[in-house]
């Protein structure tokens, strides 16, 4: 007793047209969940006490590469908000200790504020209207050499290097925080 089933035939599948999008077009589809204030509030709630962050008894060398990796990953996620504050403090220190950089940032900020303040108004130079995008471009053209002369790039990279060193050292040598196992049961 054998049963045979006929499965022959034609299947007409609808053609899916190919979309040719640029990379920039795909970036515009990214939606942010929440606004900046929500993100800042969430980060502020995650700040760990500084006494816990810098407790000297918790610093020692990891036993091996596997422990170092686990420790670094846990510490970076656990102290993320504290690390952001460390970066901001170092950046503020860099800006405040460089008067020329402070002046360049002030000129750039004041120029951008002035352009945004007069957004709806017409600006005429030599009888021609100048749109706001060209005004912002002018602020950028004036600010770029000032920031270059003031050493903004060097300050930024010094801050990034110092922050990476501090975070790397802290995350590597501080004992990882103990997180409760969600699957552990008390018997």
pTM above 0.75, yes or no: no
Structure tokens at 101: 């950089």
Q: What is the pLDDT of residues 87-119, one digit of tens each?
A: 999 999 999 999 999 999 999 999 989 888 887
Q: So what's the pLDDT on residue 23? A: 45
Please, where are the H alpha helices in 9-151? Answer: 23-27, 36-45, 50-53, 65-78, 80-96, 99-117, 132-150
Domain boundaries along the sequence of the chain:
54-97+171-177, 99-150
């Amino acid at each position: 007793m054998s049963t045979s089933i006929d499965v022959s035939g034609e299947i007409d599948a609808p053609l899916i047209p190919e979309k040719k999008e640029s990379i920039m077009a795909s970036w515009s589809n990214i939606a942010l969940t929440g606004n900046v204030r929500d993100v800042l509030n969430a980060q502020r709630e995650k700040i760990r006490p500084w006494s816990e962050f810098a407790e000297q008894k918790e610093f020692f060398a990891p036993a091996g590469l596997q422990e170092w990796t686990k420790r670094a990953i846990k510490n970076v996620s656990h102290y993320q908000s504290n690390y952001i504050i460390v970066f901001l403090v170092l950046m503020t220190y860099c800006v405040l200790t460089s008067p020329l950089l402070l002046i360049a940032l002030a000129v750039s900020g004041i120029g951008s504020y002035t352009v945004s303040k007069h957004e709806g108004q017409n600006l005429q130079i030599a009888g021609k209207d100048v749109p706001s995008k060209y005004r912002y471009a002018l602020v950028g053209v004036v600010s770029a050499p000032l920031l270059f002369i003031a050493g903004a790039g060097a300050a930024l990279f010094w801050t990034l290097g110092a922050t990476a060193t501090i975070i790397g050292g802290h995350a590597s040598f501080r004992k990882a925080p103990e997180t409760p196992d969600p699957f552990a049961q008390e018997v």
